[in-house]
Amino acid sequence: MKFLALIIIVVIISCIFYSYRPFINRGNVSIANGKEAQSTAEDYAQQREMMVEQQIVARGVKSKRVLDAMNNVPRHLFVPVGYRRGSYFDQPLPIGSGQTISQPYIVALMTEMLDVDNDDIVLEIGTGSGYQAAVLSTIVKKLYSIEIIEELGIQAAELLKKLKYGNVEVKISDGGLGFPEKAPFDAIIVTAAAPEIPASLIEQLKPGGRMVIPVDNNSSSQDLLIVEKDEAGNIKTKSTIPVRFVPLVKGRKVTE
Ligand code: SAH
């Protein structure tokens, strides 16, 4: 009887351990000869699946296109090597130059709010690591992405090219001014917080288009806004949730 109880306990512990394995097995895994083995693509794919279920589906994101994109884009490749263990954690991470890659849920939520499909021409302001751009590129026809810090923009453009996200064009510039040569856009996503909605971005939105943008409020966070332009050109703004983004800076391109 005692033996049976022991076996049951061992089986339960093994099940618990197995279901938490992707969380325990983050990043480097020690192996017998003292060297470290990197997590494999398969480990990361498993962590990604859990990220989608526990952080994104659980919080109400439903769009299949968005969930597929979050499941397919290898977020860890957009995270600096030193932070890679935490790629699929429920948090933003540093990407250098004082900037951050957004929390997975926020990337998914903003992509869902943008409500885009494979006919759409989209503008992103704040390329950063290129992760949000990669997620969008799997859904839309063409994505223009603007980054003000040259080093980040070049790095992201190279990575996106290497990973074959071929419909993304990165431009180094002040995104607050938009991309007049390629306007108008079906949708615009801004991934840095603005003091107000930049007028040039509203101008560059197609009638019937929408913009998702974090805008400063009176507290320490920002409001994530959905801005819609109707066919007559009227603007309607809806505030959704409080968020925290790095600021949208003004000026000419910054070279680090
Ligand atoms: N979307 C990114 C995260 C963005 S962090 C990702 O998936 O990794 C915000 C980015 O906006 C930073 O890289 C910052 O340099 C950039 N940024 C800030 N002000 C900007 C501006 N005026 N024009 C373009 N990019 C800007």
63 is catalytic: no
Q: Determine if ligand 1 sits within 6 Å of the CB of residue 149.
A: yes
Q: Determine if ligand 1 sits within 6 Å of the CB of residue 249.
A: yes
Distance from residue 210's CA to the centre of ligand 1 (Å) = 19
Q: Determine if ligand 1 sits within 6 Å of the CB of residue 122.
A: no
Average pLDDT estimate for 81-98: 97
Distance from residue 135's CA to the centre of ligand 1 (Å) = 16
Question: How many residues are listed for the chain in this entry?
Answer: 256
Q: Determine if ligand 1 sits within 6 Å of the CB of residue 144.
A: no
Identify the band that residue 39 occupies on the pLDDT scale cut at 50, 70 and 90: confident
CA distances from 5 to 12, 14, 17, 18, 19 (A): 11, 14, 18, 20, 21
For domain 16-243, say whether CATH 3.40.50.150 is its number.
yes
Give the pLDDT confidence score for residue 24 in this predicted structure: 39
Distance from residue 49's CA to the centre of ligand 1 (Å) = 27
pLDDT digits (tens, 9 = 90+) for 188-233: 999 999 999 999 999 999 999 999 999 999 888 999 999 999 999 9
Give the pLDDT confidence score for residue 253 in this predicted structure: 46
pLDDT at 25 over 80: no
Q: Determine if ligand 1 sits within 6 Å of the CB of residue 137.
A: no
Distance from residue 97's CA to the centre of ligand 1 (Å) = 10
Q: Determine if ligand 1 sits within 6 Å of the CB of residue 125.
A: yes
Please check whether residue 249 is in contact with residue 194, taking contact to mean a CB–CB distance below 8 angstroms. Answer: no
The larger pLDDT score, comparing residue 91 to residue 31, is at: 91
In the numeric block, the tokens 């910054």 are attached to 254
Q: Determine if ligand 1 sits within 6 Å of the CB of residue 198.
A: no
Nearest to 174 by CA among 247, 82, 254: 254
Ligand 1 atom, smallest distance to 133 CA: 7
175 token code pair: 């995104």
Average pLDDT estimate for 145-170: 98
Q: Determine if ligand 1 sits within 6 Å of the CB of residue 191.
A: yes
Ligand 1 atom, smallest distance to 131 CA: 7
Q: Which of 63, 87, 102, 129 is catalytic?
A: 102
pLDDT at 8 over 80: no
Residue of 147, 172, 224 best suited for mutating to test ligand 1, as the one with most atoms within 8 Å of CB:
147
Give the pLDDT confidence score for residue 4 in this predicted structure: 55
Distance from residue 124's CA to the centre of ligand 1 (Å) = 9
Residue 191 CB partners (closer than 8 Å, separation 6+): 102, 110, 124, 125, 126, 128, 132, 214, 245
